[in-house]
Chains A and B, each alone.
Chain A
Amino acid sequence: MRKTLTLAAVTAAASTAAAAQTIDVGTTASPVGLDPHVATAFSTKLITDAVYEGLTAIDTDLRVIPSLATDWSVSEDGRTYTFTLRDGVTFHDGTAFAADDVVASIERVLDPDTGSPQASRLELIETVEAVDDATVQIVLESPSAPLLGHLANIAIMSKDFLDAGGDPQQTPAGTGPFRLERWVPDTALELVAHAEYWEDGLPRAEALTYHIVPETATLQLGLRSGAYDLLPTADIASVVSLEGQPGIETLSTQELSYGLIGFNAAEPPFDDARVREAFNYALDRQQLVDVVLFGRGQPGAPLSPALVDWAMPGDSFACLTRDVDAAQALLAEAGYADGVEVTINVLGILPQIVDLAQVVQAQVAEAGFDVTLNVQERGEFIQDWRNSNFTAFASLNGGSIDPDGTFYRTFRSGGSTNVFQYADDAVDRLLDEARIGTDPVARKAAYDELQGLLACTGPIAFLTFADLHALTRDGVEGFALHPTRDMRALRTTAVPAD
């Protein structure tokens, strides 16, 4: 008995020692500001995920779970949400977390002066108020099924910090497991464990350092030599090169984001639904997966197969299977019997997208699409994208756990990311219905119909769902990839002693 105890003590001591370590994360891009309400680029989210938390969180099975709110109830009419807040939570600046902070954070997102892109997710909110220190009530204009999921992404900031004029772009003040200690531009962001973190025993690591390493080849060598413990978003080249190497482990999961070709539905030739359908027929999605993703992913469809409750399989739609004859027939019908020239803007910073575009170019050529690729630098691409200044573009879109999250803003006429200028009455009607509907069966039926409408003649050719990969050194444990690329698992991550 005594002996066992000693052993247990030793093990505990050893694990404490092991936990007293820094997680060295390698990533390619510097964050562009650290305000999660404003900077929505992934390079920022990678870091703010460790610093901030929302009222809710989303687990790896895409279910909504409690985070800063321990519990909530929804009124009969689906318009009033009452949240019970977690007790004993402290912000990095030392202030205690209370209902005022939730109200201040949500109001900040909704304030037009903040310019938050997240505002459109909360636009149904009529009022948000603190009932008491531990209770927040949100009243909606109309019921909204996706609200709880959206709240997971609304970072809760300290009201005192905001009132004092603090700038979250530079000094984050969240409740998350890690606190920013030092930001050395273009080099590293050093974070340390938040001593008063609300969950006992977490975070397991004592510190977390993001190394900014723009070169993939260098990242690969750094992981092999032990300079980095974790590459949370490893590119496919690194994965196929390093997989199976001694000392390296690969994690993967299905991702919600998808590679796509977007069409300008207001300009020839893609204003003609037949041309969009022809493009779909001309694609060989399985080959895209095999060549570009080295087989690690799924052929594209309107919704990711990871959304098991919603997604219809790709073979439900004829146009998602390659048929060059059908493509040519449709093109001829649309008046392009001799083929058609199109230019595709390509988002240049994502190697996966540049690769997809090159194989797409070769594939659709056989059906009569003479594609010119215009690989663009990020700023230029975004500007053209926002101004609908394109014939077609190749990019990567993020998904959401509820179809409403991406469908509405993307396909609704006037939607905030409907840069395609796509407008279809039937689609609009179904989107509106499904948005305010609370009956799961009716919503499912509406989204099934929408998937059918969008798969072949929508403004997007869904290319692939790439698996998301992370590479770790042997012995790194507790990290898990998340389909939404959420980095919450960093709080449970531990690294081996060097």
Chain B
Amino acid sequence: MTAALKAWRDMPTILAVAIALVAVQVVVAVAAPLLAPWDPLYQDVVARLSGPSWAHPLGTDRFGRDVLSRILYGYRSSFLIAFAAVAGSLLIGGTLGLLAAYYRGWTDRIVSRLMDVLFAFPIILLAIGIIGVLGPGTFSTMLAIGIVYTPIFARTVRGPALVLREAEFVTAIRSVGAVDARIIVHHIVPNLVGVILVQTSLLMSAAILVEASLSFLGLGTQPPTPSLGLMLVEGRNFLALAPWDSIFSGLAILFAAFGFNFLGDCLRDQLDPRLRD
């Protein structure tokens, strides 16, 4: 407890701000159903395409659906997609990277080549291809982003793990006869937490943007599910009449991606001794 308190006190202000920012966003995303004043699918047809008012603080879309509620739910689904994709790719990519680094030899060669092939594709191109196969939709988007990020995590983990494997304290433990699994879990992984945190945070931000791009191309979340990227697309044809959903959902995407990127950026500075003040 005191250690945690001390860590918080010693933290640079900017990192604290970043953490707080992301925390607030996560709370908003999780609590979206409690915060949203309307059902995001409810069509208040009479009040459609109207500007901000007391009833609809951010206006309504072309079916009279409440923009604020849709943005809150869209926030939630953006976060959910990004989180599931990043968590999945971390789990699979990270594990593969660790095993490759620890066992070297054929394991490493096979894993690395497979990851190289996936990594060879430009991210957006591979994601478009995967969604082409699976058909557009929320789950496809999650899976596509997850697959695209898997080699990134494998690479992120493999490099430092290779170094750690040869580190003195690891060879020492191994000579005492510790089991591989124990060495990996208790001695290597804890030393990778920093790198992983930075990468996770940056990829969360990138995943939110990729999801929005895919929805923009018509490949991501499908109507009527609220999604930030989709709202932006649907609203832009009505920009002249009622720009509310386009403008606010664009800002929401920016805000959501900003938090995680900022956090990752600050964490990277914090963990890289060269950059620390």
Q: Which residues of A contact B (CB under 8 A)?
A: 216-217, 220, 235, 237-238, 240-242, 287, 290-291, 348, 351, 354-355, 357-359, 361-362, 373-377, 380
Contact = CB atoms under 8 A, between A and B. Distances in A.
B181 to A, nearest CB: 44
B50 interface: no
A355 to B, nearest CB: 8
Contact of A377 (B136, B237, B238, B241): B136
Nearest to A235: B237
Given A291-B48, A348-B136, A377-B135, A241 B241 contact: yes
A290 B48 CA distance: 11
Interface stretch (B9-17, B78-86, B217-225): B217-225
Given A291-B48, A375-B223, A216 B135 contact: no
A415 B169 CA distance: 77
A242 B240 contact: yes
Given A217-B237, A237-B238, A354 B223 contact: yes
B273 to A, nearest CB: 48
Given A348-B218, A361-B224, A241 B136 contact: no
A78 to B, nearest CB: 49
A362 B240 contact: no
Dominant secondary structure of chain A at its interface with chain B? helix
Given A348-B222, A362-B41, A376 B135 contact: yes
B28 to A, nearest CB: 26
A380 B241 CA distance: 33
B35 to A, nearest CB: 23
Contact of B224 (A217, A237, A287, A358): A358
A99 B63 CA distance: 55
Interface in B110-168: 132, 135-137
Interface in B26-43: 41-43
Contacts of B239: 217, 241
B44 to A, nearest CB: 11
A242 B63 CA distance: 19
A174 to B, nearest CB: 33
A244 B132 CA distance: 40
B56 interface: no
A238 B63 contact: no
Contacts of B63: 291, 355, 358-359
Most chain B CB within 10 A, of A235, A287, A377, is at A377
7 contacts: A216-B236, A237-B62, A291-B43, A291-B45, A357-B223, A359-B63, A376-B136
Contacts of B45: 287, 290-291
**Which 7 pairs between the two chains have the least Cβ-Cβ distance?**
A237-B237, A375-B222, A241-B240, A358-B224, A217-B236, A216-B237, A362-B43
Contacts of A242: 240
Given A358-B223, A373-B222, A238 B237 contact: yes
A238 B222 CA distance: 22
Nearest to B218: A348
Given A237-B237, A241-B241, A287-B45, 4 more contacts: A291-B43, A359-B43, A377-B135, A377-B219
A259 to B, nearest CB: 15
Contact of B241 (A235, A240, A291, A348): A240
A113 B41 CA distance: 49
Nearest to A380: B135
B214 to A, nearest CB: 12
Contacts of A220: 237, 240
Interface in B215-260: 218-219, 222-224, 236-241
A238 B45 CA distance: 20
Contacts of A373: 222-224
B4 to A, nearest CB: 46
Contacts of A358: 63, 223-224
Nearest to A219: B237
Contacts of B43: 291, 359, 362
Contacts of B132: 377
A355 B135 CA distance: 20
A214 to B, nearest CB: 10
A241 B222 CA distance: 24
A373 B45 CA distance: 20
A438 to B, nearest CB: 47
Contact of A375 (B136, B237, B238, B240): B136
Contacts of A241: 237-241
Contacts of A374: 222
Contacts of A377: 132, 135-136, 218-219
Contacts of B240: 220, 241-242
Nearest to B219: A377
Contacts of B238: 237, 240-241
A355 B223 CA distance: 9
Contacts of B41: 362
Contacts of A354: 223
Nearest to B225: A373
Contacts of A357: 223
Nearest to B222: A375
A235 B241 CA distance: 15
Contacts of A361: 224
A361 B132 CA distance: 26
A82 to B, nearest CB: 51
Nearest to A291: B45
A27 B135 CA distance: 25
A287 B132 CA distance: 35
A376 B236 CA distance: 21
B252 to A, nearest CB: 19
